[in-house]
Chains A and B, each alone.
Chain A
Amino acid sequence: MSRYWPLPALAACALVPWLPGLPVFWLTLLNYIGISAILVVGVVVLTGIGGMTSFAQASFLGFGAYASAVLSTHYGLSPWLGLPAAIAVSAVAAGLIGAVTLRLRGHYLALGTMAVAMSLYYLFANLDFFGRNDGISGIPPLNLFGLSLVDGRLYLTLIWAVLVLVIVATNNLLDSRVGRAIRSLRGGALAAASFGVNTPAARQLAFVYAAVLAAIAGWLYAHLQRSVNPTPFGLNASIEYMLMAVLGGAGQVGGAVLGAVLVTVINDQLQDWLPRLLGQRGNYESIVFGLILLAVLQTAPEGLWPHLFRGRTRKRVIAPAEALPRRVMPQAGSPVLAVERLSKRFGGLIAVNEISFAVNAGEIVGLIGPNGAGKSTSFNLITGVADPSSGAVRLFGTALTGQPAREIAQRGVARSFQHVKLVPGMSVIENVAIGAHLRGQAGALAGVLRLDRAEEARLFAEAARQLARVGLAEQADRKATDLALGQQRVVEIARALCLDPVLLLLDEPAAGLRHNEKVELAALLRRLRAEGVAVLLVEHDMDFVMNLTDRLVVMDFGTKLAEGTAEAVRRDPAVIEAYLGAAQ
């Protein structure tokens, strides 16, 4: 699909309804499909991409529809004013509901939103202001240049034009700095937070965005139907929208449209065919629909879109751009990180016990020790992923203890993970660009409106530069999780470098690398050292560690066993006995 598809698509929206011979009822179906698709695009962003399952989307449709219905009937305002009102009401409601429910994860969120949906349904149905169960009828149609949009054809053009714009906006959003934050929520949230992504804010943003799309759909619905009542906004409706997303393919925006088409058309066709096959008594539509759904899920759990439109990897063009501003690096040898009597207890188990050491600018320090010595836990304590039980971590003399991971990242601490944490659906270079998250400012709106292109170019130029630096420039457009595990570790290093770190923490960077790759990695780390970066690394490959590091800290059973140069540590009798002795 070319970048310019929206133009012919918009033209088609204007022309298709007037095709001679197009059955009139198709217009009706297409109208409903369009409205559903707009909402389901929101479900894709929220659930398929952001990993948050919400069963309250039809309630937001209701907020939008009721807002415009109330304004245009009770207060006689123009239906066009209903749109901003619908968006505002729904966004505020989503903001409030999100603030309460988004702290929940996974199935808790799904069920929490189910409860919200039930509650809102009965609220709509019992308030006189909303016309109780009978709802509000006699809603005026939309007018455009004096033309009343009661005709299905004109309304079809409007709905599908809105859908095209919504898809463009959503694609823009997802391909922006904020969009990468949202995409990292599913499966890569911990890593994203370690690179300064405000993950709660990203969750909230996705939730509000989906609610706004639902409100737009609700506004269109109210003025198409010209009456509203609680039934289309209940839990069953929300479930149906979720079905559309999952059936079509919840991971892709296109899946939303496909799902809306499939569910609507299948239901319509069942309505035609089942009475002919099974007779006019009883009703078997929902039974057969459920069976079809189950069959599709079993053959294509990720939805149908990836099966129909498979595997096109877009090549990202890296334009030359002005380099991003760099951090002022500290004087070589000046203290960067100081770990003071750090301890971490899990119940009765002491994982880290009163560890103290320091890392200076332009120095590579190795943290070694047998498995379970507490190395990775120490990493997590330093980067704010876990809170220490006692002790302190200082960066340039300022305490980091108790700070969230993203605050620590802001100060120039970057890391890689023992178990690789790359965002599964994203390309290598997009993953790397997450490292540069804090070096950009563009917000969601700038992303949607494409006002962020200059900044994006700079971020991606930086990502490409770091990727080239670690020798993976060729792999930039591949899916990150398609690379060999060793290479994925190197991608993590490139991502860390994108932060422009003063302190780099690497957890087993050489694991899974071939010999010459290790040599290149070592050379890279030496260059970083020369630039004044402080490096702390955990590594099991003793040759690699011994040749590279300036100093070593040896841990065993959570306590520091020894500290010193590679030579000194190698001769330390305690170390030989506890660790090296066993190895040699």
Chain B
Amino acid sequence: MDSTIVAILVQDGIVNGAIYALLALSLVLVFAVTRVVFVPQGEFVAYGALTYAALDSGSTPGSLWLLCALGALAFVAGVIRRGPVLRLAVTSLVLPAVVTGLTLWLAPLKPGVAVNAALALAIVTPMAPYIYRIGFQPLAEASVLVLLIAAVAVHLVLAGLGLVFFGPEGSRATAFADFSLSLGDLTLPGQALWILGLTAALMAGLYGFFGFTLLGKALRATAVNRLGARLVGIATAQSGGIAFALAGAIGALSGILVVPLTTVYYDSGFVIGLKGFTAAIIAGMGSYPGAVLAALAVGVLESFSSFWASAFKEVIVFTAIIPVLLWRSLRHVTLEDEEE
């Protein structure tokens, strides 16, 4: 094992870790705002990737119809709960219709990377807030366990639909740009640079969003104290929907970023999501910079263990969180908490 191998492994680990970091961030966000452990996060990665790959090959992705169906369901759910009909109609009926129209028009034309990525994002992202409205809003007061199981139910549905829409085999898309950067022995593919750059940009964006915008501050307020936020006029349902939308967008974007680099399957997302979780737990499910660092560490650990003992890679990666957790819990002596 020479320095070149070390360098390549570190680079590979960091690129994967960047994806885990994005997922970890959105998991932390959703949990903080809604107390939902967002298990279906992985499906958004797979949907984003496979929708983009379908557009890339010039065909209409099946997920488009799911968007319309979810929009209609979300509209019905919103109307039943006496939401503002006009606004609901715009967000859950008109929006999918517009996206569908654009996709049907543009997809056969093979409009290029930027348009495809934008379309894939527009198809996949709104599903998340629709799912929040249909599935989680009625459970806002339920325990974390019930919310977790509801998330598992959504995961089952989305994974099953993923198989129907995208089939059991994987897909890959052409790279955003066909260039690579040479640094001595190390060759960085252009796509890896895209991943690192966009991840960094997205993190900076999130930092700005939470630090300096009213909406971002409102989300943070909800995360700190749900009741308090409601008392000062921040609607829990609204902030939940926004958190889900952000998570959906981040998931879909992660998928779009990785699909030119590796093959993505309808069920790829779960394990990627689980590693994002691992990073989020290591970071303590509350710290954004911590989650990013932990995610990069998980990626690098994974990369090295696949070199050293590939059959036991998952064993190593998933066992590694235990000493970390132990250290954390020893450091913070928790008193008996009264949350369930």
User: Within the complex, are A and B direct neighbours (CB within 8 Å)?
Assistant: yes
| Residues of chain A at the chain B interface (Cβ within 8 Å) | 47, 51, 53, 100-101, 103-108, 110-112, 114-116, 118-119, 121-123, 126, 186-187, 189-190, 192-193, 199, 239, 242-243, 246, 250, 282-287, 289-291, 293-294, 297-298, 301-302, 385-386, 421
Could you name 25 residue pairs across A and B whose Cβ atoms are closer than 8 Å? A53-B145, A100-B325, A105-B334, A111-B37, A112-B322, A121-B314, A122-B312, A186-B340, A190-B335, A190-B337, A239-B152, A243-B153, A246-B146, A282-B163, A285-B160, A287-B161, A290-B155, A290-B156, A291-B153, A294-B153, A297-B142, A297-B150, A298-B139, A301-B143, A386-B335
B329 within 8 A of A: yes
Complex Cα spacing A242 to B149, Å: 8
- Complex Cα–Cα for A112 and B253 (A): 27
Residues of the B chain whose Cβ atoms lie less than 8 Å from the Cβ of A421: 338
Contact of A287 with B326 in the complex, beta carbons under 8 Å: no
Given A100-B326, A112-B325, A119-B319, verify A189-B144 contact (CB < 8 Å): no
Q: Are B285 and A284 in contact (CB under 8 A)?
A: no
Asked if A297 and B148 make an inter-chain contact with CB atoms under 8 angstroms apart, the answer reads: no
Binds A, one of B110-118, B177-185, B213-221, B273-281: B273-281
Residues of A within 8 A of B142 (CB): 297, 301
Per DSSP, chain B at the interface is helix
User: With a CB–CB cut-off of 8 A, which chain B residues contact A51?
Assistant: 340
1/0 per residue, CB under 8 A from A, across B297-340: the answer is 00000000000000111110011011001100110001111111
Taking the complex as formed, is B164 at the interface, i.e. its CB lies under 8 A from any CB of chain A? Answer: yes
Cβ of B128 to closest chain A Cβ, rounded Å = 15
Q: Which residues of A contact B144 (CB under 8 A)?
A: 106-107
Give 4 nearest A-B pairs by CB, closest first.
A290-B156, A287-B160, A290-B157, A190-B336
Does B175 count as interface, using CB distance less than 8 angstroms?
no
User: In the complex, what distance in Å separates the CA atom of A106 from the CA atom of B148?
Assistant: 11
**B135 interface residue (CB < 8 Å to A):** yes
CA distance in complex: A547, B144 (Å)? 47
Interface centre among A187, A239, A290, A293 (most CB of B within 10 A): A290
Q: Mark B131-147, 1 if CB is under 8 A from A, else 0.
A: 00001001100111110
A239 to B150, CA, bound (A): 12
Verify A193–B336 contact, CB threshold 8 A: yes
A294 pairs with B157, CB closer than 8 A:
yes
> In the complex, A282→B161 CA distance in Å?
10
Say yes or no: is B122 at the interface (Cβ < 8 Å to chain A). no
A122 with B314: CB separation less than 8 A: yes
Q: How far, in whole Å, are A243 and B154 apart by their CA atoms in the complex?
A: 13
Q: Which of B153, B312, B325, B329 has the most CB atoms of chain A within a 10 A radius of its CB?
A: B153
Chain B minimum-CB-distance residue to A247? B149
- Tell me whether B325 and A104 are in contact (CB under 8 A): yes
Given contacts A190-B338, A297-B139, contact A118 B274 (CB under 8 A): yes
| Contact among A108, A122, A284 with B315 in the assembled complex (CB-CB below 8 Å) | A122
Is the CB of B176 closer than 8 A to any CB of chain A?
no
Q: Are B139's CB and A108's CB within 8 A?
A: no
Contact of A126 among B280, B311, B329 (CB under 8 A): B311
Q: Is B31's beta carbon under 8 Å from chain A?
A: yes
User: Measured between alpha carbons, how far is A102 from B110 in the docked complex, in Å?
Assistant: 53
Contact of A286 among B149, B159, B313, B340 (CB under 8 A): B159
Binding site for A on B (CB under 8 A): 31, 37, 135, 138-139, 142-146, 148-150, 152-157, 159-161, 163-164, 274, 277-278, 280-281, 285, 311-315, 318-319, 321-322, 325-326, 329-330, 334-340
Q: Is the CB of B149 within 8 A of A290?
A: no
Given contacts A111-B278, A243-B149, A298-B139, contact A291 B157 (CB under 8 A): yes
Name the contact of A107 in the complex, choosing from B153, B285, B315 (C-beta under 8 A).
B285
Looking at the assembled complex, report how far the CB atom of B144 sits from the nearest CB atom of chain A, in whole angstroms: 6
Q: State in angstroms the CA–CA spacing of A122 and B309 once bound together.
A: 12
Give A123 to B335 CA distance when docked, in angstroms: 34
Q: How far is the CA of A154 from the CA of B315 in the complex (A)?
A: 39
Instruction: Identify 19 new A-B residue pairs, CB closer than 8 A, beyond the known A122-B314, A126-B312.
Output: A106-B339, A108-B281, A110-B37, A112-B322, A116-B322, A122-B313, A122-B315, A190-B335, A246-B149, A250-B145, A282-B163, A286-B156, A286-B160, A289-B156, A291-B153, A291-B157, A297-B150, A298-B138, A301-B146
In the bound complex, residues from chain A placing their C-beta under 8 Å from that of B339 are 105-106
| Residue in A47, A192, A242 whose Cβ sees the most chain B Cβ within 10 Å | A242
* A444 CA to B313 CA, complexed, in Å: 39
Residue among B152, B157, B280, B336 facing the most chain A CB atoms (10 A cut-off): B336
Residues in A with CB closer than 8 Å to B143 are 301
Q: Of B37, B164, B280, which contacts A284 at CB under 8 A?
A: B164
Which among A53, A105, A289 is the interface contact of B337 at CB below 8 angstroms? A105
